[in-house]
Copies of this chain bind each other. A is one copy, B any other.
């Protein structure tokens, strides 16, 4: 692609480094920024720089935070006897959006992935174990993706947790609410039959 301006070319090249954004989309975004107001471009640019420079990670759970302790870890309303282990900060946001979970989190920062050369040492597993030995944690809940890497990571951590005598659970796998049986894949359907629960009228409003 031939650009009429070096500044435009730089911006398009930088934008197209973002995931899921190709050269054509980057050009469309750049043209949108160009047509917009001066202040809007400056706010966007500065917020991206600030994102990388100012965001901290919680010392306890490794979640994104504005200070050394995140809002959840420093809250007295949360149940710190319950730790939900997730892959990523995005998963914390997803679970928080349900409004049903009142425990704390632990962000691993990835999964064990031998093909990508990622071992247990690359994840925040040590800090999870030290949290367990320091405080009175009753239960650890795995909320990891149901992929081979997710299962492998959960298995490895559960082995390491066995010394602490803590209860270990995993979020339920099954048929999503509102979806049809006929469109569900065989493995999910088989698992949901295997892990069937006692029938009860569930209003969905009972917080953990």
Which A residues form the contact surface with B (CB < 8 A)?
A: 1-8, 10-11, 14-15, 17-21, 25, 27-34, 36, 38, 40-56, 63-66, 70-72, 88-90, 92-93, 96-97
Measured CB to CB, the nearest residue on chain B to A13 is: B47
CB-based closest 7 A-B pairs:
A41-B52, A45-B49, A45-B48, A45-B45, A11-B51, A14-B44, A11-B47
Tell me which residues across on chain B come within 8 A of A89, comparing CB atoms.
4, 31
| Shortest beta-carbon distance from A187 to chain B in Å | 26
Tell me which residues across on chain B come within 8 A of A88, comparing CB atoms.
31
Asked if A48 and B48 make an inter-chain contact with CB atoms under 8 angstroms apart, the answer reads yes
Tell me which residues across on chain B come within 8 A of A70, comparing CB atoms.
4
Measured CB to CB, the nearest residue on chain B to A41 is: B52
Identical copies in the complex: 2
What is the bound-complex CA distance between A17 and B27, given in angstroms? 16
A38 and B53 in contact, given A31-B88, A64-B4 (Cβ under 8 angstroms): yes
| Shortest beta-carbon distance from A30 to chain B in Å | 6
What is the bound-complex CA distance between A4 and B56, given in angstroms? 10
Asked if A34 and B97 make an inter-chain contact with CB atoms under 8 angstroms apart, the answer reads no
A49 and B46 in contact, given A64-B34, A66-B5 (Cβ under 8 angstroms): yes
Tell me which residues across on chain B come within 8 A of A17, comparing CB atoms.
40, 44
| Shortest beta-carbon distance from A77 to chain B in Å | 14
| Shortest beta-carbon distance from A160 to chain B in Å | 25
